[in-house]
Amino acid sequence: MQLFLDSTDVAVMRDFAATGLVDGVTTNPSLIAKSGRPMLEVIAEICQVIDGPVSAEVAAVESQGMLAEGRKLAAIATNVVVKVPLTREGLIATGQFTREGIQTNVTLCFSAAQALLAAKAGATYVSPFIGRLDDHGAQGMDLISEIRAIYDNYEYDTEILAASIRSASHVTAAALAGADCATIPPDVFAALFKHPLTEKGLEQFMSDWAKTGQSIL
């Protein structure tokens, strides 16, 4: 499964990119607003740090506005993925972007029927929001499983990008449910490396090694 960072913090991206485990980045208007910087500048800088797909979201709500904004975003770098909302207008824009060879990430997906429409429109990615569904009493992972079954039934190429990830266990569950990718906040990404037994075991190994007085170098 591909792992994307959900962030606009370039310093954090550089740190995680050094692991070789970051496949891409997603951004949204809320993250851009928190950065306090011009959007085009932020996206351009991210694309210099990350070689993989970088999702940049349009702000327009009508398809023609989305198309104009999306073309401008796509011109920033070849790895920009234009992010559009899963609305009627968003899917009209997605279809046109597909015909123009512009990659898309259809976001705010909350049902398998919506995901079906996104795939039919030719979306590169669809982003079901797991955590937000859980917040409203639904089972977010059930949606991932339903989308996976539909896409496999009809051999759609659209990739399932699990979003609204809240924990390391969410990442594991999304992988088990068949998500192609997950977009993860930096704190959750950091948590993937950790387990108390790993830390305890390493501490014991280092203690035992120190007692030998040896050096590998």
Q: Which residues participate in catalysis according to the annotation?
A: 83
3-state secondary structure 13-75: HHHHHCCCCCCEEECCHHHHHHHCCCHHHHHHHHHHHCCCCEEEECCCCCHHHHHHHHHHHHC
User: Would you give the DSSP letter of residue 213?
Assistant: T
Kindly tell me the sign of the dihedral angle through the C-alpha atoms of 59, 125, 87, 7: negative
Structure tokens at 109: 């997906």
Nearest residue to 55 via CA among 36, 39, 34, 68: 39
Nearest residue to 49 via CA among 8, 108, 97: 8
Nearest residue to 47 via CA among 73, 66, 70, 19: 73
